[in-house]
Structure 1
C-alpha cells in the first residue's frame, strides 16, 4: 500500500514512523535499538519520520540527525514546535511569531539539515491569533527553511482560519479505532481543504496492540500511567474490547495491532498513520498491516468497538492544550 504525501513529489509506504518513544514518554529507551529500528524502517521503504523539539528536550531531533546521516535526501522529515517550559516546571504553548523563527533555527541545527519538510505548530497558542503564528511559519517557507506547514490537534475552525494565510498540508490528530474524534469535524474540513490527516497514536498508545495488560506493568515515568484509559477500572473494560479485536485478528492470521492499523488505513488515502515504534520487533509487526485485507463487513464489525471505550484519551492537564 503506497501513498503520495501531501501533494509532494514523494512516495512512501502508507505508514510513517513516530519517534517520540525513542527519547521519553513510554518508559526507558535504548538508543542502539532505536538506531537499528530507524535503519530497518529505511530498508523497508519507510520515508516519513515524525519528531518534535519537545521530545526528550531536543534529544529526539538529534537522534534522528545521527540516524539519518547521509540519508537526509531519502526521507520526508517532520518536526513540531510550540511547547515550552518555564522556571517553575510548568508547560505552556508559545506561538508568537518571534518564537516560530527561533524554534525553527534550533530544530534545523539539531536535525543537521537546511530544510524541514513539514513543520507543525504542536498546539495552538490561545493568546496568539492563529493567523499571526501561521504568517510567521509562512515566512519560513518563503525563506526556504520549511517546505510544508502543518497544525496539530486543532479544530476545524482553526484549520480554516489558518488556511486563509497559507495552505496547511497536514493536520496531526490522535486517530485510531479507539479514538474517532477527528471524524466529527476536523477530518471533513481537511478533505474540504485538501489537507492530509496524520494520525498519531494509531494503536491507542499501545492499548490496541494487546501488549498492555495492567497499569502496574508500565514503567515508572511512563506517560500512560496518568491516562484515564489505563486507569484500572477503565483498562479492564477496554481490554475486553481488545480481546474482541484479537479474536477478529485470529481470523486474518494477524495480530491485533496489524488489524487496528489496517482499519485506519482503510479510512482513506489521506489518512497517514505514524505509529510510535522504538523497537525493531514492533516495526516488523506493524509493517504487516500493509498486507491485511479487510472486507466491508470486517470494517463494520471493527468500528463498533469504539462505541464502548472507557475513559478520556487524555488527562485534564493535557486536554487543556487541545483546540476544540
Structure 2
C-alpha cells in the first residue's frame, strides 16, 4: 500500500480509502451490517487506513457501522476517519443542502456520537450550499478545528471558484470530487488547480458505480431504489456504449495482471493531481481486491490507447451530475 502525508493529520494516509456509501444501504440495494463491519476491520488490518463516510449514507447508518467497527479495532491499528456534513433530510427522505454554522454545530456532535470518537480527522462539506456564504462555512469549520473537534478541513463537489471563496474564511486541506475513466471533467480545471494550490484530492466513484468492474452485461437490472436506475449511463444505448468500452479496456488490464477494477483505480492514482482514490465496498473480498491497485503504473503507450478507446466507444461522455441534491 502507498501512503501520503495529509497535513495537518499526524498519521500517514493510505492512497486507497474505503468508501462506505454502499454500507448505509440507501440507494445501493441494502447491505449486511456484520459483513460491513468486517469489511472495515479487514481494510484497516490490510493497511487501508482511511475510512470515508457521511451522515447521509443511510441517514446515519453508515457512520454507526463505522463506529461499531472502530470500537472492535481499538488501538491495534492507526486509522483516519473522514466524514461530511451539509445535507439534511426529513421523514419523507427529502434531501436538501444546509451548510449554515448552526447546522454544522448540530451535525458535528451527531457524527462524533455515531462514530464514538472525540475528534474527526477530516471534516468535509458534502455539497456546496449557495444559500450560505462559503467563507462563513469555512470560518465555522476553523472554529471547530481550534476547539479540537476536527483536524483537517475539506470540501466535496466544489468548483475552483467556490474553493477560492471558501478559502477567504479559513484553510482548506482537501477536495473530494467524482473521477474515473468515464467521468473526467475535473481534468480541465479542478485537478490542475488542486495540484497548483497544494490541495490534496480524495476522488470518489473510481469504479463508476460498478461499470468498471466488468461484471455487468446488457441485460443487467438493478433493484428498486438503486442509484444506477437514475444514472443515464446505465440506460439503453448509453449502457451498451459503456459496456463496449469496458470490454475493449479488459485486455489492457490483463496485460498488467490486474482485474478491471484494479486497473481503473491504478489508472486514477497515476493521474496528476490525484492524491487518494476511494473504493466503495460492503464485503471483505471487495476491499481486498483494492490492494492490487497501488505500486504499479501504466506506460504512455497504454495510456494513449485508453484515450483512443474511450473516444471511439463513448463519443458523448455522460457526467455524474444526476447525483447532485436539491439546492435550498
Fold-level similarity (TM above 0.5)? yes
Aligned to 1:151: 155
Aligned to 2:132: 128
Where 2:280 maps in the other structure, the secondary structure is: coil
The 1:107/1:320 distance shift into structure 2, 3 A limit, reads closer
* Alpha-carbon distance, 1:198 to partner: 0.6
Asked if the contact 2:201–2:273 (Cα under 8 Å) also holds between the matched residues in 1, the reply is no
* 2:129 is the counterpart of 1:97: no
Q: Distance in 1 between matches of 2:326 and 2:189?
A: 18
The 1:79/1:319 distance shift into structure 2, 3 A limit, reads closer
* Alpha-carbon distance, 1:203 to partner: 0.9
Where 2:111 maps in the other structure, the secondary structure is: helix
Aligned residues: 321
The 1:40/1:61 distance shift into structure 2, 3 A limit, reads same
Aligned to 1:162: 166
Q: Distance in 2 between matches of 1:303 and 1:265?
A: 16
Q: What are the equivalent positions in structure 2 for 1:222-301 lying under 5 Å apart?
A: 222-268=226-272, 270-301=274-305
* Alpha-carbon distance, 1:172 to partner: 0.4
Aligned to 1:314: 320
TM-score scaled by length of structure 1: 0.93
Q: What are the equivalent positions in structure 2 for 1:44-55 lying under 5 Å apart?
A: 44-55=46-57
Aligned to 1:18: 19
* 2:59 is the counterpart of 1:57: yes
* Alpha-carbon distance, 1:74 to partner: 1.5
Asked if the contact 2:81–2:120 (Cα under 8 Å) also holds between the matched residues in 1, the reply is yes
Aligned to 2:122: 118
Aligned to 2:44: 42
TM-score scaled by length of structure 2: 0.92
Asked if the contact 2:206–2:277 (Cα under 8 Å) also holds between the matched residues in 1, the reply is yes
Asked if the contact 1:179–1:306 (Cα under 8 Å) also holds between the matched residues in 2, the reply is no
Asked if the contact 1:208–1:260 (Cα under 8 Å) also holds between the matched residues in 2, the reply is yes
Task: Flag structure 1 segments of 5+ consecutive residues without an equivalent.
Answer: none
* Alpha-carbon distance, 1:205 to partner: 1.1
Task: Flag structure 2 segments of 5+ consecutive residues without an equivalent.
Answer: none
Supply the RMSD in Å over aligned alpha carbons. 2.0
Aligned to 1:179: 183
The 1:321/1:187 distance shift into structure 2, 3 A limit, reads farther
Q: Distance in 2 between matches of 1:221 and 1:215?
A: 18
Where 1:171 maps in the other structure, the secondary structure is: strand
Question: C-alpha deviations, 1:269-324, integer Å up to 9, x for none?
Answer: 742101101122211222111244321212222233443435533364x34669xx
* 2:307 is the counterpart of 1:303: yes
Q: Distance in 2 between matches of 1:68 and 1:207?
A: 30
Where 2:51 maps in the other structure, the secondary structure is: strand
Where 1:84 maps in the other structure, the secondary structure is: strand
Q: Distance in 1 between matches of 2:171 and 2:63?
A: 25
The structure where helix makes up a greater share of residues is: 1
